[in-house]
Amino acid sequence: MKKTSARIREDLARLHEQLKRAETRDAERIGRIALKAGLGEIDITEGDLHLAFEEMVNRFQQVRGAAGERGRRVDSRPAAPPIVAETALSPAGQTGEA
């Protein structure tokens, strides 16, 4: 049976609302985790933070792809150290190393 354009628009609107609710749940979950980890306490630009999140996503996608399962590491190498943006190290962005 062929759907009318009005019915398709209704379905799209319903799916759009479901997507917004799912994105809100994901954002709240990630935000809670970030705050618990202390991310709200560091001085970092939004751009640097976005880059750090992209790097984290890439790292976990590589782990998932290699393991074939979610989050399980298949090699004996230690996990990558936490990503620290230079702006979070000191107000001048210096590490203090000479």
Q: What is the pLDDT of residue 80?
A: 52
Same domain, 53 and 82: yes
- pTM (two decimals): 0.55
Q: What is the C-alpha to C-alpha distance for residues 55 and 50, in angstroms, rounded to an integer?
A: 9
Same domain, 50 and 77: yes
| Structural domain containing residue 83 | 43-98
CA–CA–CA angle 39, 67, 32 (5° rounding): 20
Give the count of domains, the chain: 2
Better-predicted residue by pLDDT, 88 or 65: 65
Same domain, 91 and 48: yes
Buried b / exposed e over 45-60, threshold 16 CB at 10 Å, is: eeebbeebeeeeeeee
Q: What is the pLDDT of residue 81?
A: 53
Phi, psi angle pair for 20, to nearest 5°: -60, -40
Same domain, 61 and 91: yes
Tens digit of each residue's pLDDT (9 = 90 or more) over 17-75: 999 999 999 999 999 999 999 999 999 999 999 999 999 999 999 887 776 655 554 44
Residues 83 and 55 sit within 8 Å (Cβ to Cβ)? yes
Q: What is the pLDDT of residue 97?
A: 45
Same domain, 29 and 53: no
